[in-house]
A and B are shown apart, each in its own frame.
Chain A
Amino acid sequence: MRARTLVLVVVALASAFSGAAMAAAAPDAALVARGKAAFTHRCSMCHRDGGTGTFILARRLGAAKSLLEQRTDLDPTYVRTVVRWGLVNMPRISRVELPEPDMDALVAYLTAPKAPATP
């Protein structure tokens, strides 16, 4: 029951903060680059094209929201909470696997303003 409640809280957070990331100031480029490296090293096996996380997100939220690196609605608190507490079928990630400095960078990367998609 506790975990179910958590899922609802996380989903609610995502809704409440959607758009906040887009309004944020441009983050530090070096931090974003470090975040991209952290994503590649720790997240990409599930969360890039063809990965388990991408597939399950598409099932739950639709294909448009399935690739985390393309999302424009991710909030820092939401990203941190999902990483440490897991969500639905996603396992939790410890501070050993993703230390806090890498977490900060990952959050900066995933919440950074995205360049408009090229037609």
Chain B
Amino acid sequence: MKLILPPGLTKTQFDQAMAAFARAIGKEWVLATDEDRETYLDQYAPGREDSHAAAGAIAPGSVEEVQACLKIANEYRVPLWPMSRGKNFGYGGAAPRMSGTVMLDMGRMNRILEVNAKAGYCIVEPGVGFFDMWEYLRSRKIPLQMGIPGNGWGSIVGNALERGFSPAGDHSNNICGLEVLTPTGELIRTGMGAMEGGKAWALFKHGFGPSWDQMVVQGNFFVVTKMCLWMKPEDEAAISVEVKLDKPADIGWFTETVTPLRLRGVLDGYVRLTSFQATATVPTLRKEWYQGRDSIPDDVVTKIRERFNVGWWNGPIRLSGYSDVCEANLKRLLDGFAKHTKQEFKVTRLAGNAVSGPTTYPLQMVNWFGGRGGHIGYSPVMPADGKLVLEQFERTRRRFIEFGLDYSGTFYNDGRSATNVNLILYDKDDAEQKERVRKLFVALIKDAKEQGYGEYRTHLSYMDDVADSYDFNHNALRKLNERMKDALDPNGILAPGRNGIWPKAFRDQRGKL
């Protein structure tokens, strides 16, 4: 990837800045060749890769080195984009929002600093991956478990900071204390960690005064150097209930059944239901089923379901905890289902520690079209109400059919809200199809906005569009975020444009791709 300079910088100024970074952290950790830049492109970009092209990367190995980098970035006005391990696939991977930004690659800071089995938490640096933690727990026989997202290749810290989730729930809810650097280099610990020698940093979230952890999540006000994260003790027992629902409309009564149970704690985490499509996209190619350029028709849907023996909607429900409680909760769940269907649900009893480890297996779905594929998700948050969920599904599927793309949807229910992840797969080398993807995405943002639903997270290319949709009182919240951004980051060097928050120095870049 050829060099794209940061806006406003000459090549000479850029070279001087990179030389200064090299003096601070060692020249081997300043990565600015064409090949280096290539490694920070978005592998699954829904548009042009050079819309989000890094000018290079710097990789400090300590808090002090990060501070030195921030000082240099302010001196030379070099925008930096902090990243943990760069596996944010579907949302931009390792790439920055604004081309010409230099990646602040935190991957070398990869220590597991503490794991406390008694209190159920860990303290980790940004470079620690889910595989690393899994291996750490297993090799030491530590009876803790963690929520693992579909792509287990990424960083624990990065995932939580993106508000990533798994069936265990929203991982950002488990953050309990952070160590961060402001854009101007001040080191801060949040919550109880704000006290020198504080003993409850990883135990109590809020400390004294305003609670800052969620200001860090999905923001661009700080660089995270340490995270305290709650983990769950291993369960005594677990029960898996295999849900296979035959008709699309079944999601309505299913939602009405599980929502009150989740609200009362009979179920925990996210109760999810996924459409049939997900069973086909990983192990098979689309051309095995259908050659048309339109959305897969219903007769093919039937063939897929028959071959994989799946419902229109599918999803295991996992009950876990003490054995007698699991059995009582199972009865409540099955009694709820029996009010709507005579269907039998397969029930499997498991050991409490029989949990799946990290995997990259679902990433295989990007090969659905057989060549260089990609994926993005459109994921609005809405009420966990059966009627509304059914309407959302029907409206969204109509849009997929309108734009000739294969519908693949999941609803994650936490008892109050439902996060509706719509997976859009495409062939990166099919420009006409990618244009339809863009039109679909824009239409989905508009549709959801009309219902009062908004995305919880989005790809780099749509951050400004989604931020626009949060428009109460003329986007008053974004204006507040940008006032805070300008106060904390006067030169606008940290992650300009992340989630629609643009610093004054680069505000003219809003909406530009």
Contact = CB atoms under 8 A, between A and B. Distances in A.
Contact of A45 (B89, B93, B152, B428): B152
Contacts of A114: none
B361 A96 contact: no
Contacts of A55: 283, 364
B367 A59 contact: yes
Contact of B429 (A4, A46, A90, A92): A4
B36 interface: yes
Given A55-B364, A56-B364, A84-B35, A92 B43 contact: yes
A51 B285 CA distance: 17
A91 B38 contact: no
Contact of A94 (B39, B363, B366): B39
A52 B361 contact: yes
B85 A97 contact: yes
B360 interface: yes
B153 interface: yes
B105 A96 contact: yes
Contacts of B429: 4
B265 interface: no
A96 B39 CA distance: 10
A99 B105 CA distance: 13
Contacts of A85: 35, 38
B30 to A, nearest CB: 10
Interface in B21-76: 28-29, 31, 35-36, 38-41, 43, 57, 59
B108 interface: yes
Given A45-B153, A91-B93, A94-B57, A51 B360 contact: yes
B223 interface: no
B107 interface: yes
Contacts of A89: 43, 363, 366-367, 372-373
A46 B366 CA distance: 14
B269 interface: no
A94 B364 contact: no
Interface in B2-29: 28-29
Contacts of B454: none
Contacts of B105: 94, 96
B28 to A, nearest CB: 8
Interface in A23-77: 45-46, 50-52, 55-56, 59
Nearest to B373: A89
A9 interface: no
Contact of A96 (B38, B108, B359, B428): B108
Interface string B352-392: 00000011110110110001110000000000000000000
A8 interface: no
A92 B429 CA distance: 18
Contacts of B85: 97
A56 B38 contact: no
B86 A94 contact: yes
A88 B372 contact: yes
B254 interface: no
B359 A45 contact: yes
B322 to A, nearest CB: 33
A12 interface: no
A45 B43 contact: no
Nearest to A45: B360
B212 interface: no
A25 B39 CA distance: 31
A86 interface: yes
Contacts of A79: none
A3 interface: yes
Contacts of A3: 372, 428
A52 B150 CA distance: 12
Contacts of A99: 28
Q: Which of B39, B358, B359 has most A Cβ within 10 Å?
A: B39
Nearest to B374: A89
B36 A46 contact: no
Nearest to A95: B31
B131 interface: yes
Interface in B118-148: 131
Q: Which of A4, A84, A95 has most B Cβ within 10 Å?
A: A95
A90 B153 CA distance: 13
The 7 closest A-B pairs by CB, nearest first: A94-B39, A92-B39, A91-B43, A96-B107, A96-B59, A52-B364, A96-B105
Interface of A: 3-4, 7, 45-46, 50-52, 55-56, 59, 84-86, 88-97, 99
23 contacts: A4-B429, A7-B372, A45-B131, A45-B152, A50-B361, A52-B361, A52-B364, A55-B283, A59-B367, A84-B35, A84-B39, A88-B367, A88-B372, A89-B372, A90-B43, A91-B43, A92-B39, A94-B57, A94-B86, A94-B107, A95-B31, A96-B29, A96-B59
